Amino acid sequence: MKQTKISEAVVRRLPIYLQVLNELHNREVQTVSSQELGVKLDLNPAQIRKDLAYFGEFGRKGIGYDVLYLIEKIRQILKVDQPINVALAGAGNLGHALCNYNKYSKDNMKITAVFDAHPSKIGISINNLQVLPMEELPRVIVQQNIRIGIITVPAFEAQNVANQFVEAGIEGILNFAPAILRVPEHIRIHNADFTRDLLSLAYYLAGEGDAANESTVD
Amino acid sequence: MKQTKISEAVVRRLPIYLQVLNELHNREVQTVSSQELGVKLDLNPAQIRKDLAYFGEFGRKGIGYDVLYLIEKIRQILKVDQPINVALAGAGNLGHALCNYNKYSKDNMKITAVFDAHPSKIGISINNLQVLPMEELPRVIVQQNIRIGIITVPAFEAQNVANQFVEAGIEGILNFAPAILRVPEHIRIHNADFTRDLLSLAYYLAGEGDAANESTVD
DNA sequence: TAGATTGTTAATCGATTAACAATC
DNA sequence: TAGATTGTTAATCGATTAACAATC
């Protein structure tokens, strides 16, 4: 038994592997080497092999990895080989957008409930899902065995919604609001606040004094 | 002159610091210590001090950091103290959502042009911005001195749009499409594909065999 | 067999943290 | 002055990469 704690960096690469593998599968590629994956992803092949090796022996020496088999295995590792119900709070444009991904999603994660606090939103239908009032949240989370919550409400309401998710027994939160949320230790929280990506992107713009030497230190 | 190459990890923390500092400033807090920031962000205070020290001496021994001054400094480092024009390709729900952030944005990054390939989208108005056809992209990028492009088109069109952005002279891309994009080395690309966050979140769910020991190795 | 490629160990590299002199 | 907190060096920890025996 390999009880080694898997690092976050490794886990965050798994979905990327899955993405390339799916592309390869769509192009009916049967087999792929860590070398080839490395080229596609700009990653060191040794790193890819090591990442996968944390979870088992999925390749064949001299041959490479069977694409479909590896897809299956990574889906198992990520636990998306089983249905995972997801709730979404905040039926704005962003909420709408995320619900649409449902249609194209090839894995078993599905948004199965949408909540909003605003009376104007309640009852409208997004992708066959009726928007429910926040009061229904605790009941529906339990009833549908929802384990992940997505937050797409404005920043000032985000902490409040997070609390309600936690209270209702959710295990993980994907937060799109530009706010720093406090949750109990056992709750996993991933931030998807795009303003962060955008700001860090700006850093790398060439300036009069570009990123490398824009320091004010002399 | 500190020519040390700043690591990506450091740069990605800067927007987070900025976020807390803005919150503190809104609450009229004048001064903050690395200790306090560390508690708020679950980061080691030494790390925060070291991150900031890469760029200069912004604090005062025995006192801490002046909130407003540090905000200014980080904005300078990230180059968001000057206006940065951003283009967005893909006027779907996600594109709409991102345009709305414009209104609340406190920094100088602004989406100033929106493009879409679909005739049904062209000409409609989002937040006072008329959606333009893709053909206009090269001209408008140059004319408005746009340096960053956001991609919110479907995955299968994403590479094509990226190529057009690069061709038009853009320096950085924020990609929301669940696709792996190839761009020249000098172009910076940040992926904001939320399906990745969601999949890696699933890994941490407690299973029958939870994340720590779900390995198939024996 | 010869060539390719895995899984894994060891070496390297880089990032985080502890510790503390300087100083407000 | 005494207490607090920075900026920075040194120590630690962890992640990436190189190298190679095993083997298809």
Q: Stretch A35-60: mean pLDDT, rounded? A: 97
Q: If we measure between CA atoms, which residue out of A134, A5, A18 comes closest to residue A70?
A: A18
Cβ neighbours, 10 Å, residue A141: 22
As a whole number of angstroms, the distance between CA A22 and CA A28 comes to 10
B110: β partners: B85
The answer to whether strand D lies under 7 Å from the CB of residue A41 is no
Task: Tell if the CB–CB gap between B203 and A79 is shorter than 8 Å.
Answer: yes
| Mean pLDDT, rounded, of chain A | 92
**Which of the four pLDDT bands, split at 50, 70 and 90, describes residue A102?**
confident
A2: nearest CB among B94, B178, B215: B215
Q: Stretch A166-175: mean pLDDT, rounded? A: 98
Residue A13 has pLDDT above 80, yes or no: yes
As a whole number of angstroms, the distance between CA A86 and CA A111 comes to 4
Instruction: Calculate what percentage of chain A has a pLDDT beyond 90.
Output: 87
Task: Tell if the CB–CB gap between B174 and A41 is shorter than 8 Å.
Answer: no
Q: What is the pLDDT of residue A108?
A: 87
Residue B211 has pLDDT above 90, yes or no: no
Q: What is the pLDDT of residue A104?
A: 64
To the nearest whole Å, the CA of B79 is away from the closest chain A CA by: 6
- To the question of whether residue A94 is assigned a binding role by annotation, the answer is yes
Q: pLDDT tens-digit profile of B84-133?
A: 999 999 999 999 999 987 766 777 899 999 999 999 999 999 999 999 99
Question: Å from B213 (CA) to C10 (C1')?
Answer: 26
| Mean pLDDT, rounded, of chain B | 92
Residue B29 has pLDDT above 60, yes or no: yes
Q: Stretch A163-186: mean pLDDT, rounded? A: 96
Q: Where are the beta strands (DSSP E) in B11-138?
A: 31-32, 59-60, 64-66, 84-89, 109-116, 125-126, 129-133
Q: Stretch B180-200: mean pLDDT, rounded? A: 95
**What residues in B contact A79, CB-CB < 8 Å?**
202-203, 205, 207, 214
Report how far Cα B90 is from the mean position of its chain's Cα atoms.
Answer: 18
Question: Å from A47 (CA) to C6 (C1')?
Answer: 12
Residue A107 has pLDDT above 80, yes or no: no
Residue A161 has pLDDT above 50, yes or no: yes
Residue B64 has pLDDT above 60, yes or no: yes
Q: What is the pLDDT of residue B206?
A: 85
As a whole number of angstroms, the distance between CA A30 and CA B35 comes to 53
As a whole number of angstroms, the distance between CA B199 and CA A136 comes to 26
* CB-based contact A113:A144 (threshold 8 Å): yes
**Which of the four pLDDT bands, split at 50, 70 and 90, describes residue A213?**
very low
Domains of chain B: 8-77 (1.10.10.10), 84-198 (3.40.50.720)
Q: Stretch B148-157: mean pLDDT, rounded? A: 97
A11 touching chain B per CB within 8 A = yes
Q: What is the pLDDT of residue B104?
A: 64
Least confident of A111-115, A189-193, A205-209: A205-209
